[in-house]
């Protein structure tokens, strides 16, 4: 046993990765060590037991919640990273952290390879493969589902023949979730004309079941990081969880997106991201008060670049490092409070305030107390309009 090759497998407890355990033992003559990462939404102990039951030599678990929030979610929030104006990138932000834990486990256990259950047509295989090989180029990455060519039915038969304790009841949707959101695809969602059925949703209420009265809340930010809700200081993971529940109960955070995958196809995915939707709206509102016009314009371009970079699996790039440095610098004065109204699926910013706000009432007001120099506007406009006047006079 001691000289057997070792493979570290990212294990979710689902059918694919449960079948992968005996499959590796049979086809690679290797011992399998599973790693299950808690990014906010899993029952680690139940999955650990199942890993051992399907034949893992060792089942490791990691609580990645705080690291996910502090090193991935909040930097992406500060960046304003939303893919194609819809998707707050929950799955995409979780993958590089899973890659990191896989590498750490492989190195600690002396494994020659890491493995994951991604298919060959999604973005996640790219994120994991690129992530792992960026951190540990010497490791081999194996994606059995990409290689074995079994249909779902064949996988079930394979599992039954080996008496694996799997539960096949699983839904018609493919779901991935972490603190930042829930990603749902497959089943009838593959028809982009069809309205997503209610069963696709789990974190958000249908409008018919949301309260008639609006809910108001206040989020406090310290240098672009949310630190308190309604005056109560909360650590990041608890704060996100709180907003997921509150916004979800008001039907906020449902997203229906036909997106452009890195592998060149379009796919229809439904997301639930109540906390992320609230925090992005609030953060952006605070930036309207605290960033200059030029900073805001440039930052909006960086936000798109950042979102593409995350979506496309390039987290462990120097490019990300550089973008982060820019983003962090922009957040120095993004401190203050935002007031929001949640009602019937809508999240609306209704107020914002900051000790560093660039909004000056004495300059903006139309009432008495106005200190804006109206007479200076005349000379400004004359020079500002000069090139337009000149060109229109000469080039008639």
Interface residues with ligand ARG (CB under 6 A)?
91-92, 123-124, 174-176, 183-185, 269
- The nearest distance, CB 6 to ligand ARG, in angstroms, is 27
Q: For residues 169 and 54, is the Cβ–Cβ distance under 8 A? A: no
b/e map 238-273, b = 16+ CB within 10 Å: ebbbbbbebbbbbbbbbbebebeebeeeebbbbbbb
- How many Cβ atoms sit within 10 Å of the Cβ of residue 161? 9
Q: Which of 12, 18, 100, 124 is labelled catalytic? A: 124
CB-nearer residue toward ligand ARG: 76 or 111: 76
Q: Which of 95, 254, 268, 352 is labelled catalytic? A: 95
In sequence order, the β-bridge partners of residue 381 are: none
| CA distance linking residue 205 with residue 122, whole number of Å | 28
CB-nearer residue toward ligand ARG: 263 or 348: 263
Q: Could you tell me the two tokens for 78?
A: 């500060």
| CA distance linking residue 150 with residue 147, whole number of Å | 9
Residue 320 is a catalytic residue: no
CB-nearer residue toward ligand ARG: 17 or 250: 17
Residue 174 is a catalytic residue: yes
Farthest-apart Cα atoms in the chain, separation? 89
- The nearest distance, CB 124 to ligand ARG, in angstroms, is 6
The total number of residues written for the chain in this structure: 396
Residue with tokens 């706000």, as numbered in its chain: 357
Residue of 13, 24, 12 whose CA lies nearest to 50: 13
CB-nearer residue toward ligand ARG: 44 or 262: 262
CB-nearer residue toward ligand ARG: 167 or 391: 167
Residue with tokens 């994951």, as numbered in its chain: 116
- The nearest distance, CB 29 to ligand ARG, in angstroms, is 31
DSSP 335-361: -EEEEEEEETTEEEEEEEE-TT----H
CB-nearer residue toward ligand ARG: 25 or 257: 257
Q: Which of 38, 146, 162, 174 is labelled catalytic? A: 174
Residue positions annotated with a catalytic role? 16, 95, 124, 174
């Amino acid at each position: 046993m001691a000289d057997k090759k070792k493979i570290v497998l990212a294990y979710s407890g689902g059918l694919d990765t449960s079948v992968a355990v005996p499959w590796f033992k049979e086809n690679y003559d290797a011992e399998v060590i599973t790693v299950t990462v808690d990014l906010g939404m899993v029952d680690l102990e139940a999955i650990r037991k199942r890993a051992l039951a399907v034949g893992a030599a060792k089942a490791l678990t990691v609580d990645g919640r705080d690291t996910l929030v502090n090193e991935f979610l909040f930097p992406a929030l500060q960046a304003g990273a939303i893919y194609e104006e819809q998707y707050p990138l929950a799955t995409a932000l979780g993958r590089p952290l899973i890659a990191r834990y896989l590498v750490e486990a492989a190195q600690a256990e002396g494994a020659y390879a890491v493995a994951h259950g991604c298919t060959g047509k999604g973005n996640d295989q790219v994120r994991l493969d690129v992530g792992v090989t960026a951190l540990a180029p010497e490791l081999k990455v194996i994606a059995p589902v990409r290689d074995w060519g079994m249909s779902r039915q064949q996988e079930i038969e394979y599992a039954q023949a080996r008496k694996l304790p799997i539960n096949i009841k699983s839904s018609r949707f493919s779901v991935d979730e972490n603190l930042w959101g829930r990603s749902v695809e497959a089943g009838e969602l593959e028809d982009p004309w069809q309205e997503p059925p209610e069963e696709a949703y789990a974190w958000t209420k249908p409008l018919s079941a949301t309260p008639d009265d609006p809910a108001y809340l206040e989020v406090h930010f310290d240098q672009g990081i949310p630190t308190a809700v309604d005056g109560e200081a909360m650590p990041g993971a608890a704060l996100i969880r709180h907003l997921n529940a509150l916004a979800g109960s008001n039907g906020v955070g449902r997203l229906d997106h036909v997106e452009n995958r890195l592998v060149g196809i379009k796919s229809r995915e439904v997301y639930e991201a109540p906390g992320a939707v609230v925090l992005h709206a609030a953060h952006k509102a605070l930036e309207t008060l605290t960033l200059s016009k030029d900073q805001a314009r440039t930052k909006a371009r960086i936000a798109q670049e950042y979102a593409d970079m995350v979506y496309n699996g390039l987290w462990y790039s120097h490019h990300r490092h550089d973008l982060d440095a820019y983003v962090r610098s922009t957040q120095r004065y993004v401190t203050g409070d935002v007031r929001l109204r949640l009602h019937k699926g809508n999240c609306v910013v209704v107020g914002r305030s900051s000790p560093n706000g660039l909004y000056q009432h004495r300059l903006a007001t139309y009432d008495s107390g106005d200190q804006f120099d109206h007479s200076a506007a005349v000379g400004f406009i004359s020079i500002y309009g000069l090139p337009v006047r000149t060109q229109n006079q000469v080039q008639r």
